[in-house]
Amino acid sequence: MSVENQLIPTEALREKLRNYSRNLRDIKRNSENDSLRFGLGEIQSKIIELDNLTEKDVQGLANRIKRRKHASAEDMYRLSHAFLQGVENIRAFSMIPGAIQTLVKELTGSDAEQQFHASETFCNLSLGEAPVCEKIATMAGSYLVTYLDCTEERIKRTCLWTLANIIATGGKGAHVLISMEIVPKLMSIYLQDCNEDDYREDAAIVLDVIGSSESKLLRPSDLECLFLKFHMKNPTSPGAEYHLRIIFNSGIIAPGVVLSEEQVNYLMNFSVANLHNTENFEGIPNRMRILYAIRILANLLALDSIYFNILIEKCTTWNTNLVRLINRLFGFKNQQLSAEVLWLVKNIEVCQSDSFPASAFLNKLVFS
């Protein structure tokens, strides 16, 4: 598997979302709230029932909430659990006309608990295939995006996960959400300084999925938003491991783009810090930090060799030098990573000068 394929592939993201929901439910199973919700003194039998919901059960629930034009907390809890068990249950629910509209009604009602249960149900429903996600985006997308501005922690976070699901699935559903000005809202969440509820990593995941999409979802206005604000991200804040990847995949660092001095200094400092401070090339966060720092640096040097002086300056700031930094990367002994490093070395070599002779630099490198 290539380095690139190990970095938040869509299926890995979706599995992370499934596990998140399962873990949340495991906690709920043992809580007193479930006993009160179902009106049962003992919920063990209900747990067994939830683990064995069939397509027929889902169709029955869908028809019932459609007929009543209302979904109770228990209805939505059962549906949420059924959706986790397989795409067949999701598909069965989506085929019942009016069922999704009933969930939308609960999502947009005045009862905060019902809103949360509906948002959670949509989150698990969005684990379905593209046609299902398109229906969610069309019928409930505007509300999911609007709830990004709300202060209710559970609803806001669940909506972020739902949006990530839909966009990761691709298709028309992703384009529908992008048209709802989701990128500026996500950037606002991602860049903020938080002392209380923190959604920055969740927003980073959604932005990462958008930027990594093969469908090129970002519109000119979205790219402008990213370009004008990317250097406002605190490199030590939650979600920062995604930042250089988001910038790189968006394509905003490209020939013809004029970067401000502040932006160049920011990118150079962020990249050198990642390479200097990341202890190994293990795990997705570290791989993102290192790989995209290399790519950003290589792109900057390819844009203008004058940026090389800033790179040398940033190395000094972090009490290192280029030879030490590059040899550190080779020392991770990852063949595909080393190939990326060689691309950076080639761009460094082009920037040679009297004060930095390329031959002396190359002779000090320990290639692997």
pLDDT digits (tens, 9 = 90+) for 127-159: 999 999 999 999 999 999 999 999 888 899 999
Alpha-carbon distance 106 to 113, whole Å? 9
Q: Which residue, 68, 142, 70, is CA-closest to 106?
A: 70
Alpha-carbon distance 93 to 140, whole Å? 16
Beta-bridged to residue 356, according to DSSP, are 353
pTM: 0.86
**Residue 2 confidence (pLDDT):** 54
Torsion of CA 109, 110, 113, 114, to 10 degrees: -20
Beta-bridged to residue 353, according to DSSP, are 356
Mean pLDDT of the chain: 87
**Residue 68 confidence (pLDDT):** 95
Alpha-carbon distance 128 to 125, whole Å? 6
pLDDT band at 365 (very low <50, low <70, confident <90, very high): confident
Alpha-carbon distance 51 to 345, whole Å? 55
CA 357, 358, 360, 361 torsion: positive or negative?
Answer: positive
**Residue 214 confidence (pLDDT):** 78
Alpha-carbon distance 90 to 79, whole Å? 9
Please spell the DSSP secondary structure of 221-256, one letter per residue: HHHHHHHHHGGGS-TTSTTGGGHHHHHHHHT-SSTT
| pLDDT greater at residue 245 or residue 255 | 245
Q: What is the DSSP letter of 289?
A: H
pLDDT of 50 above 90: no
Above pLDDT 70, what percent of the chain? Answer: 85
Q: Which residue, 300, 250, 249, is CA-closest to 270?
A: 300
Contact 204, 243 (CB under 8 A): yes
Mean pLDDT, residues 171-179? 95
Q: How far apart are the first and last CA of the chain?
A: 19
Alpha-carbon distance 144 to 159, whole Å? 6
Alpha-carbon distance 364 to 350, whole Å? 17
pLDDT of 42 above 60: no
Amino acid at 120: E
pLDDT band at 186 (very low <50, low <70, confident <90, very high): very high
